[in-house]
Structure 1
Amino acid sequence: MTLPANSGQARQRSTKTFWAWTIATFFGAGLGKPGPGTWGSIAAALLWALAAWTLHPAANVMIWMLCAGIVLSIAAGVPAATIAARESGRKDPGFVVIDEVAGQWIALLGAPLDWKHGLIALVLFRIFDILKPFPARQLESLPEGWGIVFDDVAAGLYAWGIGALIRIWI
């Protein structure tokens, strides 16, 4: 049975915009089950760790690298998330994890380059991403990719702030 085009039901497109889905899923990390958001965060944290432990950058160089990654993930993530959400017919699909990547990298800003601080940033970001304290939850109401990405930017800022406080004591 074929439904008329104006039936009101969301139709999933048979084609996907390759670049948008690649970025939105962060090269497939968002396809991990269960909890694609956690897989996206882990992928971002692992890239941070790989850069830290292979390149041995000075702290200020790592901050610049993270800032570049954050800007790039937001600038490419908003349109990619918009396209992937439209093509999937869902408002905020779980497989879109470029927002977790941006938020996780924000949470890692200024963290010492060791596994303990990386783990703290990962756990804090996941907690704030799940809880979405004010105003993070309200940012979800921004249109399309903006809402998908910026609630996680806010969660990353919360995790960054609490992480910075924790670093004072440990």
Structure 2
Amino acid sequence: MSIFLTDKIGKNELTAKAIFTDPVLFLAFGFGSGLFKKAPGTMGTVAAIPVCWLFALAGDYFYYALTLAAVVAGVGICGMAAKKLGEHDFGGIVWDEVAGLLVTMLWVPFNWPALLVGFVLFRLFDIVKPWPIIWVDRKVSGGLGIMLDDILAGIMSGLILLVIADLGWL
């Protein structure tokens, strides 16, 4: 028994090989992390950690620009992946989690304690989906719909993380 999805992925029944060989699907599946059977969103957020770290190494302005690029490109990436899979917001599409964690970390200096707290906050908001996240998740479709609820979760998480940092708790 495998911990990964190996065949019949999505309504169009793609294979794991198709995910790894198609650049759009490879990105949409968070470099393959979306192929985990259990908690693909959490695994996609884990896959975002090295991306976040590399972006932070580039400096603040590059971090902002690269995050914006990840968000904007994500609308197309997620929309195309959903069409290829034949399913809107398939659980394995986790580029939105990658972008969401990047957004979470926008307003605080990068350090490992902040990243850990940001990770937990982001997963909490992404799973619980308080208003307006739940409304967006239900009402907005396509690539924008896949991305927007996670971007909102990232904004909410990032604002709380900023307060925590400003209080000197990180």
Distance (Å, rounded) in 2 between the aligned partners of 1:29 and 1:87: 18
Aligned partner of 2:116 in structure 1 is 119
For 1:66, the aligned partner's letter is: Y
Q: 1:1-170 counterparts in 2 under 5 A? A: 12=12, 18-50=22-54, 52=56, 55=57, 61=59, 63-140=60-137, 141-169=139-167, 170=169
Instruction: In structure 2, list runs of 5 or more residues that go unmatched.
Output: 1-9
Cα drift, residue 50 of structure 1: 4.8
Aligned partner of 2:6 in structure 1 is none
1:111-141 CA deviation, whole Å, 9 max, x = no partner? 2322111101100000001111111111122
Largest Rg, 1 or 2: 1
Aligned residues: 154
For 1:79, the aligned partner's letter is: G
Q: SS where residue 124 of structure 1 aligns?
A: helix
Q: Which shifted more, 118-127 or 131-140?
A: 131-140
Instruction: In structure 1, list runs of 5 or more residues that go unmatched.
Output: 1-9
What is the TM-score normalised by the length of structure 1? 0.80
What is the TM-score normalised by the length of structure 2? 0.80
Distance (Å, rounded) in 1 between the aligned partners of 2:80 and 2:55: 30
Aligned partner of 1:4 in structure 2 is none
Distance (Å, rounded) in 2 between the aligned partners of 1:72 and 1:40: 18
Summarize the Cα distance change of 1:136–1:29 in structure 2 as closer, same or farther, 3 Å threshold.
same
Cα drift, residue 48 of structure 1: 2.3
Distance (Å, rounded) in 2 between the aligned partners of 1:134 and 1:100: 18
Considering only aligned residues, what root-mean-square deviation do their CA atoms show, in Å? 2.2
Distance (Å, rounded) in 2 between the aligned partners of 1:89 and 1:130: 23
Alignment check: 8 A CA contact 1:109 1:160 kept: yes
Cα drift, residue 14 of structure 1: 5.5
